[in-house]
Structure 1
């Protein structure tokens, strides 16, 4: 046994051991620096969302996480490269795996991309009343995949962002002052000026109708059996539905009190008596 160790030239393994140890130390240094850089980049991106109130925190937390994982991916590739591992095949494999996952999750990725765009361009925010994807309600939550609404009858609606983005979005809360369009008809025999005065009295007496801008009351259409008015009072956005659901009843009562006829559709039939 002693002769075996005497014949064994330990010096030939010293360079390999030194190289291996150096690679381990360098790998540790790369990991430490890589994790530090990944954390700094992620924190900087998240800090943008916290610094500016108009930017959405959810989006920047997501982007910060993505940036961190991208940096760490390059860090691990660099570590493997230090030990002589051929990383080209690994990168190709990761690319193929990413493509396969992307094809399998097309719907989810579509919602994700739409969610990112919604959070960037912010066509609506939490608390707004919106009409989107054929649904109307108050926005209670916006995340990267869905928008959650609360309806007036207290139902929760969860809409995938992919169904919202690219379609018409009506934000009823964007402007602080809203106009409320309503239509009322009177008979052709009635006095138009008198009817306008009655409607204006109702609007002037309503507590939520603004004086500036002034309410709009004008004849819009001459229908087959009625003269139709377009009535547009203005109000603060919070009182939109108070106006919409209270004024018609008040106008009806005021027109009845003024003995102004509100016609209903009718048809005149002329009959000829034969010989």
Structure 2
């Protein structure tokens, strides 16, 4: 390539090429600025709404940012005359290959999107999901993080959660504590129920409405079995659970109730088997009589 060829190229195509470069740079700078405005405004809008989790807002912002930046790159390629239709087809094929290889991961992603839309639970709820019981600490697009009551962090795939039964203990304002108390035969059942209702109602954080339930649940050989069911907020569940057990012990001790015992059934001789019945004395014979 000689100098004359370079001079001719600069005079004929150089100016146009320089204008395209300047236009691409300007489009990149302006596009990035506009993308930043859109993402920032979307995140502020979602945060102000208060109905979208911060984790979801962050992931939505990331997804929208990637899509807008991809469109910006395609627009810049158009300036240089690159046919983006073939590029888009190549990108779609690449995405299909990734989708086939990562089918399980995309299933978790799809389930995560549906969970964010349907909102079966939110961060801070106490749930049983995917066979794990605990407090939700993070909602991801691929997995959900739950902290169990024994302070263990569990990460469950969203597809497993969404395809199984979800128990949300935080939706309703009150949760019922399920306990039982057995009294001995001969104890005044109505007196025991009255004492327990008074004692349970004095436990801190027990809801007055609905009032605690103390009733006869069933009858056993040792004595009647009472159900003791106070209501409380989910955050105070275990405190009320243990305090109610303590109240049952203290109430029965103060009342002087005997400990329930299994009655002993004594068999009479008539109920014994013939081989076990007493044998009559045998008469003496022969030399024994002498």
TM-score (norm 2): 0.75
Retained in 2: the 8 A contact 1:225–1:264? yes
Structure-2 residue corresponding to 1:274 = 274
Aligned length: 269
Q: Which has the larger radius of gyration?
A: 2
Point out where structure 2 has 5 or more consecutive residues left out of the alignment. 276-290
Q: What does residue range 189-268 of structure 1 map to in structure 2 within 5 Å? A: 189-222=186-219, 226-255=223-252, 257-259=255-257, 262=260
| 3-state SS of 2:163 partner | coil
Q: CA deviation at 1:102?
A: 1.9
Q: CA deviation at 1:189?
A: 4.8
Point out where structure 1 has 5 or more consecutive residues left out of the alignment. none
- Whole-Å separation in 1 of the counterparts to 2:95 and 2:262: 65
Mark the CA change 1:267 to 1:150 in structure 2 (over 3 Å): closer, same or farther. farther
Q: What does residue range 36-51 of structure 1 map to in structure 2 within 5 Å? A: 36-51=33-48
Q: CA deviation at 1:86?
A: 2.7
Structure-1 residue corresponding to 2:61 = 64
Mark the CA change 1:187 to 1:36 in structure 2 (over 3 Å): closer, same or farther. same
| 3-state SS of 2:257 partner | coil
RMSD: 3.5
Q: Does 1:101 align with 2:106?
A: no
Retained in 1: the 8 A contact 2:127–2:169? yes
Q: CA deviation at 1:98?
A: 0.9
Q: CA deviation at 1:55?
A: 1.9
Structure-1 residue corresponding to 2:181 = 184
Runs of 4+ in 1 over 6 A off after TM superposition: 10-13, 265-270
Q: CA deviation at 1:62?
A: 1.9
Q: CA deviation at 1:179?
A: 2.1
Q: CA deviation at 1:94?
A: 0.6
Q: CA deviation at 1:140?
A: 3.2
